[in-house]
Amino acid sequence: MKLFFQLIICSLLIVSCSDDPEISGIPNSDGDSLAIVRVFEALDFVRPVDLQHHDELIFLVEQRGIIQVFENNPSVTSSSTFMDVSGRVDDAGNEEGLLGLAFHPGFSQNGFFYVNYTTANSTTRISRFESSLQYPPQGDPDSEMILLEFPQPYGNHNGGQISFGPDGYLYIAAGDGGSAGDPQGNGQNTGTLLGNILRIDVDHPSANLNYGIPSDNPFAGNQSGAREEIYAYGLRNPWRMSFDSSTGELWTADVGQNSFEEIDIIENGGNYGWKIMEAEDCFQSNCDPAGLMLPYFHYDRSSGSSITGGYVYRGPVKNLSGQYIYADYSTGRIWALETGTGSPQHTLLFDTSHGITTFGVDNEQELYFCSLEGQIYKFVTL
């Protein structure tokens, strides 16, 4: 009988409940139960790694190099290919491929969008493409303008997220280049683009680049050899970052090495410690934490070993409001983390069997996540 009423409620919420929803033990303030349910059930994808939206459309990035688009409608029965660049993308390693998508703030007028992918010669490429302005839009693979490239010495730790900030600049998450233990010391080397959050101005290119350097980037105009694109550094593998739509803060999940997974609030010029430190512990012997930005929160290997960054929740589920929702890929666990407090507490929401690769929101701030198996799930109350 309980499931019968859940099915009625789910239909009123316009979400799918063909399978039993996964229900959290954490009650809503109204006494409702928090749940995750599969949505867009007619659709399956191949290794989804990023979910973005524009107006009423959902764009799903597949690691193999294809971006799918479909209407944000629970009864949608098919998706279409927004753009296919699989012939340019190398996804032979499990952390390579097409990894990020961002729409220009003026996309409705100019059709510009940006992607982050790895090429066959082990290079990260940040490119701009153009789209038609029809509905649904169609990306033009022949319109590519390469903005930025940098080599990847190994096949892992590519980061991959790109996102426009409230300031209109494009932010790029770049891992340390891979292997284990950062053998090249990229995390603390400001002469490389690896191991950083980068920030560039795509609207005002300089004389010899396809982008500009924001004047308040920490190394803008330096004469010491530091890369001017760097916004923050000392990161290992920032897998998924997002801006809080209310405060503008940049939240980033950094995958750890041996002991800890960490969550950072990224600040201009911040050094987040890798590989001097892993979270709040010394990774190198006799380390000095002076001047380093310690994580906002971290957890150890008893909870998981591969953090997937999420979002500060600003959607309709009341008991999640203002909390940072994130997961661990290796365990399938999903947590809510308090924000705006000196001693944040995190609460386990769900212990799932999903390989959670990414989170995403729609234009109503509803929160979704994708599983590597190819499905999309949504947070609701029952």
CA distance 244 to 43: 29
pLDDT tens digits, one per residue of 103-130: 999 999 999 999 999 999 999 999 999 9
Q: Tell the residue number behind the tokens 């989804």, with chain if given.
A: 48
- Give the whole-angstrom CA distance, residue 185 versus residue 362: 38
Question: How sure is the predictor about 6, in pLDDT bands with cuts at 50, 70 and 90?
Answer: very low
pTM over the 0.75 mark: yes
Beta bridge partners of 371: 356
Torsion, Cα of 357, 280, 313, 218 (10° steps): -90
DSSP 109-137: HH-EEEEEEE-TTSEEEEEEEEE-SSSS-
pLDDT tens, residue by residue, 172-216? 999 999 999 999 999 999 999 999 999 999 999 998 999 999 999
- What are the tokens at 1? 């009988």
Domains of the chain and CATH, by start: 1-39+315-382 (no CATH), 44-314 (2.120.10.30)
- For 291: left if phi > 0, alpha if psi spans -120 to 50, otherwise beta; the answer is left
The predicted-structure confidence for 278-335, as pLDDT tens digits, reads as follows: 999 999 998 999 999 999 999 999 999 999 999 999 999 988 999 999 999 999 999 9
Task: Say if strands 230-233 and 238-243 run parallel, antiparallel, or are unpaired.
Answer: unpaired
**Closest by Cα among 122, 238, 120, 108 to 172:** 238
User: Is the CB of residue 371 less than 8 Å from the CB of residue 62?
Assistant: no
Paired residues of 198 in beta bridges = 172, 230
CA–CA gap between residue 294 and residue 175 (Å, rounded): 18
Q: How many CB atoms lie within 10 A of CB 132?
A: 11
Q: What is the pLDDT of residues 222-272, one digit of tens each?
A: 999 999 999 999 999 999 999 999 999 999 999 999 999 999 999 999 999
Q: CB under 8 Å to 207, separation ≥6 — which residues? A: none
Largest CA distance in the chain: 71
